[in-house]
Chain A
Amino acid sequence: MAPVSVFEKDIPAGTREIGVVDALNEALREEMARDENVVLMGEDIGLNWHGAFKVTKNLAEEFGTDRVRDTPISENAIIGCGVGAALTGLHPVCEIMFGDLVTLAMDQIVNQAAKNRFMFGGQASVPLVIRTPFGAGGNYAGHHSSSYEAWFAHVPGLKVVQPSTAFDSKGLLKTAIRDNNPVMFCEHKRCYGQKGPVPEEEYLIPFGVADVKREGDDVTIIATSFMVFQALKAAEILKEEGISAEIIDPRTIRPLDSKTIGNSVKKTGRAIIVHEAVDFGGISGEITKQIIKEAFWYLDAPVTTVAGLDTIVGFSPVFEDGFRPDPNKIAAAAQELIRPA
């Protein structure tokens, strides 16, 4: 059987379509069946609830409560227990119910998981996956809506994944579970309901390989996580205006595929970076730096960003919807780059 492509656009027409939650669930199920050292830990991931977003549906039933472990509400102990289990031979996948709550486990993520291998002189490995949903979606307000992926991309020793589609979610999670380093697997609440083609055959998606989600000639839009779907809608708006946008989904932000991004910008001469995390200090700064390194002399316009407002996500739908970059804002930014007023 030919290997399944690592790019969604190359998979055969007629492939079955499933949602992101089911794709993640399949990845967990397949990896648990493959490797008995894979254990899941998290709040309410087991028999009674199956995870706040149902990603662990039926896994406790299938693999037992020794391997799908409901935890107390103790984020630091969840991750710390994951680190200790990883150091001694298990391959834990820890779920933090909402991305904002990783703050309660920062010591174990940043000081322990990320640093152990280096500071023990290579004796240790920490094969640990931390899954958590970032992003606004559902009007959960300030403690359940933030996007902190850039913090973790700043930490040597961690890998940071941001899947968008169902295809990418499954292939990247399986890769994360086979990686022997700590991986921050950043899901998005608004991606969970997205459906897309996912082959029944097994496949893995390597880290550090961006996916060109749509080809175009006039402007490169680098979009992460849920913003990929917003950018794809923006591309349709721009098409009506006669503007051809290329959409690049980095898929992993550490490692970051600067070459694919740079090559696209060399072709289009214009770059917009779109993420939901607040603008100031976001991963757009790093991507901009990489564009300057790779393609500065090809730029026809300044690199720009469309990102979350520089504030806290508010409760009212007015605040939440207005916080997030939408297709119109992205399209307007592209129009401004191409036809300055």
Chain B
Amino acid sequence: MDIQSIDPETLLHMYEVAFKIRQFESKVYEVFNLNLIPGTMHLYLGEEAVATGVCGNLTNEDFLTSTHRGHGHCIAKGADVKKMMAELFGRTTGYCHGKGGSMHIADFAVGMLGANGVVGGGIPIAAGAGLTCKLKHPGRVVACFFGDGASNQGANFHEPLNLASVWKLPVIFVCENNLYAMGTPARIACSVQDIAIRATGYNIPYQIVDGMDVVAVYEAAKEAVEYCRAGNGPYFIEAKTYRMKGHSKYDPATYRPEEEVQEWLARDAIQLYRSKLIDDAGFPADQIETIESRVNQEIEDAVTWASEGPQPVIEDALKGVYLEEDN
């Protein structure tokens, strides 16, 4: 499948998504350094093609589970950047009313079942969402994102993969292999360098794709999603990708060889996709620029909106722990 066989609307929508992730994360980095955001942040900069390409095949009826590095997954699934930014600012107007922050953004209205502060914590939950799809909504699927580090989790990775396989649950396991778990290289932590090989132990079909290439990810995910929608069971995609920045807020990531960093940065996901759209798919540059202007404005508006949101009050801390009639 080449780029011209993908419908133009999808191609442009995916560019908007990928570019929005890039600009959102760049803006988060900027305002974080102005001390406007408490806590920490795990930026999706560099990995945009993965969430974009996978979610290009999903609808709001499908579900998604995410990781601590979840902003990209939220945007790709259709979350509102205003409410995301407000959550990062810790305001009551945020998705979680300031109770979750970066690592717990969720938007159930679009099937985004939450980022997760526990490495691998979302994987068993994805299996459960898959069970709901299988029993109640055949044809719906779950996209389950996690990293190379999570693939070393016993109970959170290996148990649900086996369960999803024996129960034929419609879950697309998407391993974002960015080569490092915090500062620990996969080469010293993982028994295999192609994480997808682990799927064979659970009788789950897999593909390994270039995680910097939106079109390649989209194509692999299309096959995976069709396989799952048809009721064949789970599918595994490993996307080879890379963080533009460090693991979290002040990590300069000096443990990564400069040569390696430059090699990956040269294959920038946004630039690669932009070139393909103009050179291979024939979109005029000004059409792309129109999208970029619109997104830039949306991100600026999101920061303004977020910063104007009210701060929570401590009394809110006791609300919403239980679902009862009175809260």
Contact = CB atoms under 8 A, between A and B. Distances in A.
13 contacts: A37-B136, A80-B123, A80-B124, A83-B125, A84-B127, A84-B130, A85-B131, A87-B128, A108-B124, A120-B95, A120-B106, A123-B96, A125-B323
A92 to B, nearest CB: 8
Contact of A111 (B107, B118, B322): B118
Interface in A68-123: 69, 71-72, 74-77, 79-90, 92, 104-105, 107-108, 111-112, 116-123
A314 to B, nearest CB: 28
Contacts of A89: 132, 136
A282 B64 CA distance: 39
Interface in A39-74: 39, 66-67, 69, 71-72, 74
Q: Which 10 A-B pairs have the closest CB atoms?
A: A80-B124, A84-B128, A76-B155, A121-B96, A77-B159, A84-B125, A74-B159, A85-B128, A88-B132, A81-B128
Contact of B100 (A74, A108, A111, A121): A121
User: Number of contact residues on B: which range applies?
Assistant: 35 or more
Interface of B: 63, 65, 94-100, 104, 106-108, 113-114, 116-118, 121, 123-133, 135-136, 155-156, 159-160, 162-163, 166-167, 319-323, 327
A157 B322 contact: yes
Contact of A85 (B108, B116, B132, B321): B132
A22 B269 CA distance: 60
Nearest to A156: B321
Contacts of A111: 117-118, 121
Contact of A81 (B114, B117, B121, B124): B124
Contact of A104 (B107, B129, B155): B155
Contact of B121 (A39, A112, A123, A157): A112
A82 B167 CA distance: 14
A224 interface: no
A111 B117 CA distance: 9
Contacts of A118: 99, 320-321
A123 B166 CA distance: 31
Interface string A122-147: 11110000000000000000000000
A77 B124 CA distance: 5
Contacts of B99: 118-121
A92 B108 CA distance: 19
Given A88-B132, A117-B323, A76 B127 contact: no
Interface residues of A, number: 45
B114 A124 contact: yes
Contacts of A121: 94-100, 106, 320
B163 A180 contact: no
Contacts of A75: 155
B95 to A, nearest CB: 6
Given A108-B124, A112-B118, A122-B97, A87 B113 contact: yes
| Most A-side CB within 10 Å, residue of B65, B130, B163, B167 | B163
Nearest to A179: B323
B96 A90 contact: no
A25 interface: no
B106 to A, nearest CB: 4
B126 to A, nearest CB: 6
A181 interface: yes
Contacts of A107: 118, 121, 155-156
Nearest to A66: B135
